[in-house]
Structure 1
């Protein structure tokens, strides 16, 4: 929604951290304090707003957020500004998690707006976290720490809000213990790259493979990517991990090309790295080192990563396309599907999520959905990859529907590069061909 410019006065901003600590002490020091909640709200990209639009606009953003939050508070609730771009809300009489979740939803919704400017508008987005008294802490320090943990959870998971979860916090602490080990593994090249083949359904021949980073910890054994990738994002290692993955995949792809001719390699790009300022130079540097030919490298990005900031995604993806990178939408249908990005973004491939493919041989609704996605993509000139192919009936259906490429256990599981070369030599999909 678009909102008018808010009022801006010297007393427009609420009291600060000291006032919050005093209010917490008074509340928790009562003989029988009522249950309640402490919420934290952080404005995303506030420093960038100040730089791009000026500090006066930044002040108007702050005033608009203050007005919005005040509009949802009850008479006994209080608002504090505890940082340059962070606010705290003290909510009395919150007696169960569901009420807290409703409050978080309202906080996130009311602080999402487009602030009117003379030549357009400034998008304002925020994230919120909350901890409950007494469930999540009985003193000010614990409530602040746990509300802050919930806020970081929202940022990490790219969600508008999070309520503190003690179990998740314990798991996160265990993950953080892996930080040093992951940093060492990246530095020493102790990670491994596995590849899952993709076949061209028109010819039945190998088209390329998806590169999947694997980590076998010396003490913990196999560490799944859905643990170490978020850990890398959280601990500032995602640039190093992505650069390692790109170099490993492009180096091994170059070696495979000597045996197979033209093959492609697909590498996943996390949401965090997609919106990093140096992602294009990082990719370009890796391509230069391994003399990667245009069209050889595919970068897979999720719908949610692109829709988080469509304007920034458009700029980054266009720059990647300009240096010869193929762009694929990963897990299509599970995120914020939008025809707009199929029209506006430089997308070359679309990957149908395996949840729609696994049972399509027995499920007419899945068949209709997959066929519709294939037709839609082809109407935009976009090629389609189906994930999760686990039987010949599904493969035959996809071929009949005109799907371009397929991957899944029925074709092959992910495997090290040497094993993939051996698999190619013994498989019916041995011969590679140039892609159109």
Structure 2
């Protein structure tokens, strides 16, 4: 017994052509295609407008003759885009067989161009097939963008809002309070004995507990309230329209009671507790950072005491203005004056054979007391301080000087320098950068600037102006940590980036996450279509390298390929690497 083949979905096409012979010929060719096609004929411009505005059928394809008896067919394009949408495949069909006609069609945003002089069934079938692939790619990209947008706003484990969303909503609520005096509360929640769960039952069991905690929190607040996982076993809740401290404290006690209930696990029942700190606006201030600190301090006092839900009071006030960041900035300023900072180079390699693609220069701070300080310990303070332009200038000057010493060794490889989003708004950033490039005698093509998505999307007009200047000077541009924030494929296309670096949070879970593998596969297709290099960050294992190769990703960076190298070791590493040695 033969298995019935699934029926292909019918394609709806609108054919706008005033010549009866040409129209009938194209209809015959369309009906010979492998896919079932229903053709709606429009022999005039006015007929086409009736079809487009009637919206009885959503057309997947429009075949458009430019020269119509009652007007120019190109005038219909705005109606096509508006009434059918950008996913419609528009194909120009004209008697003009010149390259000029094809170039004009593409410039107008038309997908393909057919000349009546050499029209064949095979050529029409190819147009349909390529158009369907294009529509599928757009659908995949849109679905991936939606998934990335959701992921950028939510914690990947618990699906609660993440820290970024919580801080954004807290800022917004504080601004709204200044307009309408609507009071609210901030709850900081930290789990007790959670480390014991990880130690005794393993991290997989700990993850299940965190997911269960998220469900208990989410299920016991109102829809207007915001529940977020800030990281680790720390959660926060923003309670809207809270007029009394007792209301917030009562909810806090209820949540603690819920979180103390047992958690079922494969190896037995698990029990944890929770400590909650509460700060109210306006009772404890109306500044977002102050409210967070006061709720956080109250929570830590609760962890040390018997009562597990505490309101901020004078006992916490001494911690409101801890001088850590001020002291840190003073040390950073001294470090800049004494040239304490150093830059390590981490290779970026071709995954297939580990051939060198380039390097990323990474800042490190050999602190005279605390030893080697990684960037995540000092970059955050720098980003918000007046020292950032000075640090950026030192970074650029140092790395360019290093490039000059190995220019004869690295060939076509590039060296990436990380640039803060704030520097795009600095009035002399581009001028200072290009001056340093000339001073060190570096070929601009050797330099790649790494910017995050946030840097490009925060002020796109300003970013576009700066990026255009950098492109004109011959410098390359990479988008770092792709997927860690709000993601827009269209933005990447507009900024003409040369490289996309997939955030390591997606790479580390490739073996377990179908979504992350789907993302990489979609990015491969997207980057190939625009000739953008795709590189995976955080390649830690051989299995990860193989998975990336299977998905079509060709470039990688990570400890599994090569650790960051102190710059004095770079020349020897390049010589050994090029001679076949793989350290």
- TM-score, with length taken from structure 1: 0.63
C-alpha change, 1:96 and 1:234, in structure 2 (3 Å) is closer
8 Å contact from structure 1 (residues 253, 263) kept in 2: no
**1:393 corresponding residue in structure 2:** 543
Establish whether residue 91 from structure 1 lines up as the match of residue 181 from structure 2: yes
**2:445 corresponding residue in structure 1:** 295
**2:523 corresponding residue in structure 1:** 373
Q: Mapping of 1:215-230 within 5 angstroms? A: 215-230=365-380
**2:457 corresponding residue in structure 1:** 307
Q: Deviations over 1:35-69 (max 9, x none)?
A: xxxx9889xxxxxxxxxxxxxxxxxxxxxxxxxx8
User: Secondary structure at 1:209's aligned position in 2?
Assistant: strand
Distance in 2, Cα, partners of 1:291 & 1:171: 47
Work out which of the residue numbers 469, 472, 496 in structure 2 matches 1:322.
Answer: 472
Distance in 1, Cα, partners of 2:440 & 2:467: 21
8 Å contact from structure 1 (residues 194, 213) kept in 2: yes
Instruction: Mark the runs of 5 or more structure 1 residues left unpaired by the alignment.
Output: 1-38, 43-68, 74-87, 105-129, 137-142, 154-161, 432-436
C-alpha change, 1:321 and 1:364, in structure 2 (3 Å) is same
Work out which of the residue numbers 164, 170, 178 in structure 1 matches 2:292.
Answer: 164
Distance in 1, Cα, partners of 2:343 & 2:322: 25
The number of equivalent residue pairs is 306
Shift of 1:191: 0.4
Shift of 1:101: 3.8
Distance in 2, Cα, partners of 1:299 & 1:429: 29
Distance in 1, Cα, partners of 2:496 & 2:545: 28
Distance in 1, Cα, partners of 2:359 & 2:322: 32
Distance in 1, Cα, partners of 2:186 & 2:333: 40
**1:175 corresponding residue in structure 2:** 325
Deviates more, 1:403-412 or 1:322-331: 403-412
Q: Deviations over 1:67-89 (max 9, x none)?
A: xx8xx77xxxxxxxxxxxxxx45
Shift of 1:256: 1.7
Shift of 1:131: 6.6
Work out which of the residue numbers 498, 502, 505 in structure 2 matches 1:348.
Answer: 498
- TM-score, with length taken from structure 2: 0.48
Q: Mapping of 1:418-433 within 5 angstroms? A: 418-427=568-577
**2:566 corresponding residue in structure 1:** 416
User: Secondary structure at 1:295's aligned position in 2?
Assistant: helix
Over aligned residue pairs, what C-alpha RMSD do you find?
A: 3.2
**2:234 corresponding residue in structure 1:** none
8 Å contact from structure 2 (residues 346, 360) kept in 1: yes
8 Å contact from structure 2 (residues 504, 536) kept in 1: yes
Shift of 1:90: 7.1
C-alpha change, 1:171 and 1:356, in structure 2 (3 Å) is farther
Establish whether residue 243 from structure 1 lines up as the match of residue 393 from structure 2: yes
Shift of 1:428: 6.9
**1:84 corresponding residue in structure 2:** none
Deviates more, 1:189-198 or 1:399-408: 399-408
Instruction: Mark the runs of 5 or more structure 2 residues left unpaired by the alignment.
Output: 1-169, 188-224, 227-236, 242-278, 298-318
